[in-house]
């Protein structure tokens, strides 16, 4: 085994030298059915804890398989402690936000229901699967956790005050971005509103909280999915790991 494995898989299993890793039915289907891999193939595995490991397929079946870890190929690389809070929008755009937030290096993705959120339900399991796929694809060694949908009111009421919240406020359109106005912090979160924006009451409440900095994302109103990527970019370039 020498070349870097091309296929990367997230597994919910410990990784280490000589460690045996069983595959789920879906993973076996993907690896052996779709990707046509077989015994002897080298696959890169990661689990959000132990970095990335090269592993060899020792058993390949329709409903399962077994890999054995060889060497660590990458250490665990944690993104900054940044959460993305967003109001779910249409399915494809919500999927996009989760995928992009994973690529952009968020550690936690929290769908929140705001006054003008149209979507009352999300499929947390589907969104989590999107995050896994995005991490596999982008070379990350960490998969952000996708939380269940919760109400913005509740989230703010239970907020851990040592986490600074950057609030993308569309009423600031055209203002200076003002990320520099945020204090030095170790723990962060970004909040993006729904297509309908924030209600006046939400805006007033957010602006009154000591752990919140409102942020402008430039002279144009962005769609929520664009705003999420823009805010993550701004953060990573100024306070994050870029």
Among 35, 66, 179, 222, binds ligand SAH (CB under 6 A): 222
User: Smallest gap, in angstroms, from Cβ of residue 168 to ligand SAH?
Assistant: 3
Within 104-178, where are the H helices?
A: 124-138, 152-157
Report if residue 221 touches ligand SAH, rule: CB under 6 A: yes
Residue nearest to ligand SAH (CB): 193
Among 1, 39, 173, 204, binds ligand SAH (CB under 6 A): 173
Q: Which residue has the tokens 């409903």?
A: 63
Q: What is the largest CA-CA distance in the chain?
A: 60
Among 69, 98, 224, 229, binds ligand SAH (CB under 6 A): 224
Number of residues that bind ligand SAH (CB under 6 A): 18
Tell me the two tokens of residue 78: 């944690």
Report if residue 227 touches ligand SAH, rule: CB under 6 A: yes
Q: Answer yes or no: are the C-beta atoms of 5 and 44 closer than 8 Å.
A: yes
Report if residue 181 touches ligand SAH, rule: CB under 6 A: no
The DSSP H or E segment spanning 22 is strand 20-23
Among 21, 135, 192, 232, binds ligand SAH (CB under 6 A): 192
d(CA 167, CA 155): 14
Tell me the two tokens of residue 4: 């870097």
């Amino acid at each position: 085994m020498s070349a870097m494995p091309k296929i990367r898989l997230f597994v919910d299993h410990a990784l280490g030298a000589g460690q045996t890793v069983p595959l789920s039915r879906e993973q076996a289907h993907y690896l052996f059915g779709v990707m046509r891999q077989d015994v002897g193939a080298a696959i890169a595995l990661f689990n959000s804890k132990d970095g990335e490991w090269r592993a060899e397929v020792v058993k390949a079946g329709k409903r399962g398989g077994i890999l054995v870890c060889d060497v660590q190929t990458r250490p665990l690389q944690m993104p900054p402690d940044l959460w993305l809070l967003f109001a779910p929008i249409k399915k494809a755009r919500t999927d996009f936000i989760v995928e992009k937030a994973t690529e952009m290096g968020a550690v936690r993705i929290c769908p929140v229901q705001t006054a003008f959120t149209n979507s009352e339900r999300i499929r947390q399991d589907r969104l989590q699967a999107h995050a896994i796929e995005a991490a596999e694809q982008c070379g990350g060694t960490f998969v952000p956790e996708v939380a269940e949908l919760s109400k913005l009111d509740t989230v703010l009421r239970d907020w851990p005050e040592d986490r600074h919240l950057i609030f993308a406020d569309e009423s600031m359109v055209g203002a200076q971005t003002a990320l520099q106005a945020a204090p030095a912090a170790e723990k962060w979160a970004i909040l993006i509103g729904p297509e309908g924006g924030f209600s006046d009451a939400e805006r007033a409440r957010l602006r009154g909280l000591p752990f919140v900095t409102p942020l402008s994302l430039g002279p144009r109103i962005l769609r929520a999915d664009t705003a999420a990527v823009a805010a993550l970019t701004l953060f990573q370039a100024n306070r994050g790991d870029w």
